[in-house]
A and B are shown apart, each in its own frame.
Chain A
Amino acid sequence: MMSSIMRESHIMKIHYLTALVAVGFVIIHIMVRVMQGFSDSLEFENVIANYKSIPYAVVLEAMLILISVHGFNGLRVILLELKQGNAYENAVTYGCLAAMIALIAYGSRTIIMASMGMV
C-alpha cells in the first residue's frame, strides 16, 4: 500500500500542491498559444521553436510531472473508493505509479528530443 510508504495525509497535500502549481503552468501554456494566435501557434515550426526555448521546455517538463502525479493519484483515489482490500490496494497503487512513470518517461522523451533538435 502507498500508505505504508507515505502517510495518506501527506499524499493528499502533494495532490493539492501539484494541482495548484499545475494550474499556474497551464495558464502560461494556454497564454503562449493564445498570444501567438491559436492556429499559427500550432504550426510545426512554431511548436519546435517553443520546445527549443529552454525556459518553456522546463515549463512543459514541470507540467508533465505535476499533472501526471496529480492525475494518477486522483485515479488511485477513485479506484480505492470503489473497492478495498490489501491485494487490490497494492495493485491499484503500484499500477498507478507504474503508469505515471511510463507517461512521464514518454512525454520527457518528446520534450528532450524536440528541444535538442532531434526531429
Chain B
Amino acid sequence: MEKDRKEGIRGMANPGRYGIERVAYWLMRITGLGLLVYFIGHIYETSSLLDGKAAWNSMLELTQTTEGHIFLALVIGMCVFHTGNGIRLMIAEAGFGFGKARRPDYPYTPSSLNMKNKLCIYVSIGLAALAMMYGLGVMYDV
C-alpha cells in the first residue's frame, strides 16, 4: 500500500498491475484520442476535393500505400474496440452486469470486476482483430 502511494500517477497508470480492466481503461482512451486525430485528418483529407481532381488524387496517394493501408487497418481496429468497449461501459453504467451487492468478506474480490466484464473486453479485442483482417482484405482486394 505504501509503495502504491509512492508511485503516484505512474502507479495508477501501470497497466500490468490491475488486470485487463486497467488495460481496457487505457486502450479506451488511446483509441479515442487516435480516432479523434484520424477524424480531424479525414476531414482535412476530404477537403482536398474542393481543389479539384489532381489535389484529390495526390492526397489519396498518401493512403494507397502499404503504410497507408496498415494505418487504416489500425483505425478500423481502434474503431471496433472503442465501440465494443464503449457499449460495455454504457451497459455497466446503467447498472447491469455488476452482480449483487454483498457483504465484503476476505479476500475482498470486487463483484464488479467479474468474468462477464472481462469477457466483453476480450471479445472487443478479438472483434477488433477480426475487423482489421477484414479491412486489410478489402483494401488489398483479396
Kindly report which residue of chain A lies nearest to residue B79, judged by CB atoms: A26
Asked if B32 is an interface residue, CB under 8 A from chain A, the answer is yes
Say which residue of A20, A47, A67 sits within 8 Å of B39 (CB atoms).
Answer: A67
Q: Give Cα distance in the complex from A107 to B46, angstroms.
A: 8
Say which residue of A48, A64, A74 sits within 8 Å of B49 (CB atoms).
Answer: A48
Shortest beta-carbon distance from A88 to chain B in Å: 16
Asked if B117 is an interface residue, CB under 8 A from chain A, the answer is no
Given known contacts A44-B57, A47-B49, A64 and B29 CB-to-CB distance under 8 angstroms: no
Asked if A14 is an interface residue, CB under 8 A from chain B, the answer is no
Asked if B98 is an interface residue, CB under 8 A from chain A, the answer is no
Shortest beta-carbon distance from B77 to chain A in Å: 14
Kindly report which residue of chain B lies nearest to residue A16, judged by CB atoms: B90
- Are B32 and A74 within 8 A (Cβ)? yes
Residue in A74, A103, A106 whose Cβ sees the most chain B Cβ within 10 Å: A74
Shortest beta-carbon distance from B63 to chain A in Å: 8
Chain A contacts for B29, CB-based, 8 A? 78
- Are B32 and A71 within 8 A (Cβ)? yes
Given known contacts A109-B47, A110-B47, A44 and B53 CB-to-CB distance under 8 angstroms: yes
- Are B43 and A107 within 8 A (Cβ)? yes
Shortest beta-carbon distance from A33 to chain B in Å: 8
Chain B contacts for A12, CB-based, 8 A? 93
Chain A contacts for B56, CB-based, 8 A? 44, 47
Kindly report which residue of chain B lies nearest to residue A63, judged by CB atoms: B39
Asked if A42 is an interface residue, CB under 8 A from chain B, the answer is yes
Chain A contacts for B44, CB-based, 8 A? 106
Chain A contacts for B35, CB-based, 8 A? 71
Q: Knowing that A78-B29, A119-B49 are A-B contacts, what are 15 other residue pairs whose CB atoms are under 8 Å apart, sorted by A's residue number?
A: A12-B93, A19-B90, A38-B138, A44-B49, A44-B57, A47-B49, A47-B56, A51-B49, A71-B35, A72-B36, A78-B33, A107-B43, A109-B50, A110-B49, A113-B50
**Which 5 pairs, one residue from A and one from B, show the smallest C-beta to C-beta distance?**
A71-B36, A44-B53, A107-B43, A110-B47, A74-B32
